[in-house]
Chain A
Amino acid sequence: MSLARMSLEDKTRLLLDNPVALVDYSHHAWNHLPRAEIDALQLSALKQRFAELRDRIPMVKKLADAEGVDRVDELHDVVPLMFEHTVYKSYPPSLLEKRNFAQINKWLGKLVTPELAEKLAAADVSGCEGLDDWFTRMDQAVPELRMSHTSGTSGTLSFLPHSVSEWRKACQVRKMLVWATEGPDAPDPELHTIYPYYRSGFLSHVRANDFLIEALLPAEANFHCAYPTTLSSDVLHLGAKIRAAHAKGTLDRLEISPALKAKKQAFDKLQAEMPQHMAAFFEQMTNELRGKRVYIGGTWNLLHGMATAGLARGLQGVFSPHSYLTTTGGAKGVVQPEGWRDEVQRFTGAASLRESYAMSETPSGSHYRCEHGHFHFAHTAIPFLLDPETSKPLPRTGRQTGRAAFFDLGADTRWGGFITGDEITVEWDQPCPCGRPSRYVVGPIQRYSDKNGGDDKITCAATEASHREAMDFLTTLEG
């Protein structure tokens, strides 16, 4: 059926279930969806998600009951139900120490729909020796979910219960943009992916690899990574715990299991072998992939690390200028070295670098930066701006600065409302000169925690910011 004649209900359903079909797989149509249409669709989609999930996800129901939110008439009605990032790590850390994954599954069950909660509760996780074991087991026991975790700088990992369909929808949008498709019948191009990190792992951005391969590449063989193994979440967690214990002065109380020590050794071995892996990785690039169109996505520091290593080997302009380079904006508290973008482009030879603003908690929200430097919001994640002090919504007019929050419409078995720790400025009214009608972020994206940490106010009570500093400090001592 022609999209123009489709009802709002039907279009809403497409936005929620198959967003690329909404624009008939047209990259141009996606970028030029009229503003009024985006608004109408998003409100309608939000109402639908609210109706579907409000009473079915226990933590949402508890919050909605407490806040007295029973209906959504406008976008701001959902603001009191937005989750802080802390929700995804509100389990007691000792459950992980004691490998009490059954309890963790029970806790996770309150973040998802009852069908999934039941499967989580039924999964036999009693024999899991650690996180790697548990994630692997969960993939088998609850195949509709692809759980991931965040890096856990505070020592506690967040667990994100994303569904397979969420991942797939997000990757279909990515495919539409990377391939620049103009319809459902776009031919499969011969695309390769370069990934300067691990083949697999349960850390959120590594977890996406499987879905990117499925969406973008003709075959697994077209995926070329630096380390052909799995990034151990147990080792990552140990690192986070050590940093946290250093900061608290409780390192002597840290208990480390023999299984974990063995994993640490495996990790050390891999570290020792890294130069060989790297050599092989670069050899493959130069011998097999030179001049080809590739897709490279990763955090800015991964891309930059690869570029500096490549440039040091005398490699420049390795791939086709039409290659698709994408990276997530934001330095996450690290000062980005000057000229990193140039170095990445010089090494790869790609004509452009597509930066995006995204976060693990809202996979449908990859907001790409246009040639005017503005991050345009993805239609699949409704942006909100909140007062940083009160968390009350700021007006959706003019130019506003506040805490970014999103409702991820792709989330179908968990709750999509999420408050970030980022300060952004949104231009709600003025259209962007790039011609994309969507609203966009202007100016820098800053983390509130970095902002406050930069203050010279002093109290004698230790603050969380000071602890993060302590971690950085002690990490350098360790090295």
Chain B
Amino acid sequence: MTNSKPIAPMIIRGQIITDHLVEVGGRGGDLAFLTPDWNRYLDKLPLGNPTKLADLYKLRFDDILDYAVELGKRLNFADNRHLQEACELSYLTAPTTPSLVKASYMGLSRVLERENIVEAVEASVGIEYLEGWVPRRLLDGTELEVRCFGARALHIVAGNAPALSLWTILRNMVLRSDAIIKAPSNDPFTALAIARTMIEMAPDHPLTKHVTVAYWKGGDTAFEERLYQPQNIEKIVAWGGFASLKHVTRYIQPGLELISLDPKRSASILGRQTFESEAAMREAAVRLASDIGALNQKGCVCARVVYAQSGTDDDGVQKLNDFGRLVYDAMLKLPNSLSTAPKRYDPGLKAEVDALRLDDEWYQVIGGRDGEGAVIVSKIPEAVSFSAMLDDRTANLVPVDSLDEVMDAVDAYTQTVGIYPEALKDELKDILPLHGAQRIVSLGYAAGMKLAAPQDAIEPMRRMGKWISNQIASPEKTPAPWLRPSIN
């Protein structure tokens, strides 16, 4: 029986393990798969001795780039059977639909283009800090050298976009870190396929041998308590929902740092100009549809509540209604590499949306009868009570009269704010961050997250490294502590 189930091997530093299989997954119609019993490999997962990172320091940044670029070529979807297999299996586990999963797999090789990596690393860390000690002289004569070292890190990757596994592997490579990637149950195959490609390409290369990929059931506390220890891991990079992040915090202790890419949601703001011409309305509608529909709204970057300066009088609400119809139509026409009808419309959300449908006093529901996604137009300057649940291509357009009111769009959980037109951004970009916004983007570009940019109001790349200083001083150049006068 079990022979028919797919196997997600464990990869420990270049070694592919398929023994001691146990069955996992299979809840709620999900794919059940086999994976090595993580408890048997607990002691092999961490890089016990940190001096084993030294082999990475024999590499120059150019060597790492060469490796990454070669890997990029081998991650060409058309001729990589690991990716093809993983893609097929991911159709069954992913929160998105096959065309979106496939498009994401087809885009993997582009992440590893040389110029892109150089740009991203230069912007987010500074290549010189990774290559060696960067000297400078301080006012008191001290010569200070700073260098960014790699760390032993555990990565709890989000399962909503396959590319995140590659981002993690790339960040790990350029930082010269050692990664244990905990594969998510809704994407157990992507990181594995990349790691297997690395093993085929260069089995003994230090970069290959500093990537470990394993699946274990999140919340297996007996297992996690032993693994998540400062002698094993220095940093935990966790993407995720509130429950999973809260769960991880129990292991944080001195010597073990949490880099938290928190649960987020995103919003949009449309200025008055949007509604002043038919052309502007049409353009904004297409852009907004893209921000709502991208990855079927499974990304934290996707727009959910949209504040529109359409005005709140009858005329304004009517305009917003017309605009909502344009957004809905544009959403249905998005390319299937960006958005499709959702895999499974959240029944809890459907209950909320359908309830609004029964009474059109305050809300107009456009679409959504067949689980394809919906646009809810508020007729009052107020978001729906269930705005935090918006998902599966469901957005809420809220009319406002003045820009003062749009701040309600933003709170401590807001990641991206898409703004239209461009000129409005300058008015808002110094205010929105005070309310919680972390990324401001031209409407329509929410899904185009950049490795070169900060993320979630932190710089994860810099945080993932260990920043070490070397002070060079002598009494001739720098006042010496032992030469201080005594006091009475």
Contacts and interface: CB of A to CB of B under 8 A. Distances in A.
B25 to A, nearest CB: 10
A87 B358 CA distance: 8
A366 B355 CA distance: 25
A63 B358 CA distance: 7
B359 interface: yes
A85 B351 contact: yes
B358 A62 contact: yes
Interface stretch (A17-25, A166-174, A209-217, A453-461): A453-461
Nearest to B243: A469
B408 A459 contact: no
Interface of B, secondary structure class, is loop
Nearest to A419: B351
Interface in A316-356: none
A465 to B, nearest CB: 7
A457 B185 contact: yes
A267 interface: no
Interface stretch (A133-141, A248-256, A289-297): A248-256
A250 B361 CA distance: 27
A455 B27 CA distance: 9
B348 A464 contact: yes
A59 B217 contact: no
A107 B411 CA distance: 30
Contacts of B239: 458, 460
A47 interface: no
Contacts of B358: 59, 62-63, 87, 90, 110
A460 B218 contact: no
B386 A154 contact: yes
B184 A464 contact: no
A470 B242 contact: yes
A459 B352 contact: no
Interface in A356-375: none
B246 A469 contact: yes
B389 interface: yes
Interface in A54-69: 58-59, 62-63, 66
Interface string A452-478: 010111111111111101100100000
Nearest to A91: B362
Nearest to B261: A460
A459 to B, nearest CB: 4
A63 to B, nearest CB: 6
A391 interface: yes
Contact of A92 (B299, B351, B385): B385
Contacts of A91: 362
B160 A154 contact: no
Contact of B243 (A107, A156, A248, A465): A465
Contact of B413 (A248, A391, A448, A473): A248
Contacts of A421: 348
A110 B408 CA distance: 30
Contacts of A90: 352, 355-356, 358-359
Contacts of B185: 455-457
A460 B385 contact: no
Given A86-B355, A90-B358, A459 B158 contact: yes
B265 A461 contact: yes
A93 B218 CA distance: 36
A389 interface: yes
A464 B347 contact: no
Interface string A386-423: 00110100000000000000000000000000010100
Nearest to A466: B242
B391 A461 contact: yes
A93 B385 contact: yes
B347 A389 contact: yes
A83 B382 CA distance: 24
A298 interface: no
Nearest to A472: B246
A268 interface: no
Contacts of B354: 84, 86
Chain A contact-residue range equals: 35 or more
Nearest to A94: B382
B163 to A, nearest CB: 12
Contacts of A461: 160, 241, 263-265, 297-300, 302, 391
A94 B239 CA distance: 34
A91 B361 CA distance: 9
B271 interface: no
Nearest to B369: A66
Interface in B373-427: 378, 380, 382, 385-386, 388-389, 391, 408, 411-413
Contacts of B217: 456
Contacts of A467: 242, 388
Interface in A100-148: 106-107, 110
B355 A457 contact: no
A449 interface: yes
Q: Which of A419, A421, A466, A467 has the most CB of B within 10 A?
A: A466
B200 to A, nearest CB: 28
A92 B352 CA distance: 12
A437 interface: no
B132 interface: no
A120 B435 CA distance: 40
A371 B185 CA distance: 41
Interface string A412-438: 000000010100000000000000000
B335 interface: no
A92 B359 contact: no
Interface in B187-223: 217-219
Given A249-B412, A249-B436, A456 B244 contact: yes
Nearest to B361: A107
A202 B380 CA distance: 28
A438 B347 CA distance: 30
Contacts of A92: 362, 378, 380, 382, 385
A28 interface: no
B186 interface: yes
A463 B385 contact: no
A89 interface: yes
B164 to A, nearest CB: 8
A389 B361 contact: no
B159 interface: yes
B147 to A, nearest CB: 31
A323 to B, nearest CB: 40
Contacts of B297: 461
B347 A457 contact: no
Nearest to B304: A461
Contacts of B137: none
Contact of A464 (B218, B300, B386): B386
Q: Which of B299, B347, B362 has the most CB of A within 10 A?
A: B347
B53 interface: no
Contacts of B156: 458
Contacts of A58: 359
B95 interface: yes
Contacts of A463: 241-242, 263, 389, 391
Contact of A466 (B241, B355, B356): B241
Interface string A222-263: 000000000000000000000000011110010000000000
B344 interface: yes
A155 interface: yes
Contact of B359 (A83, A107, A156, A391): A107
Given A461-B297, A462-B241, A456 B391 contact: no
A460 B266 CA distance: 11
Given A458-B184, A458-B241, A460-B264, 5 more contacts: A87-B358, A460-B263, A463-B263, A464-B386, A466-B241
Q: For the complex of A and B, list the 3 residue pairs with the smallest distance between their C-beta atoms, beginning with the closest.
A: A249-B412, A466-B242, A456-B218
28 contacts: A59-B358, A84-B351, A84-B352, A85-B351, A90-B355, A92-B362, A94-B380, A249-B413, A250-B411, A388-B347, A391-B347, A453-B243, A456-B244, A458-B159, A458-B218, A459-B95, A460-B239, A460-B241, A460-B300, A461-B263, A461-B299, A461-B302, A462-B264, A462-B265, A464-B386, A464-B389, A469-B243, A470-B242
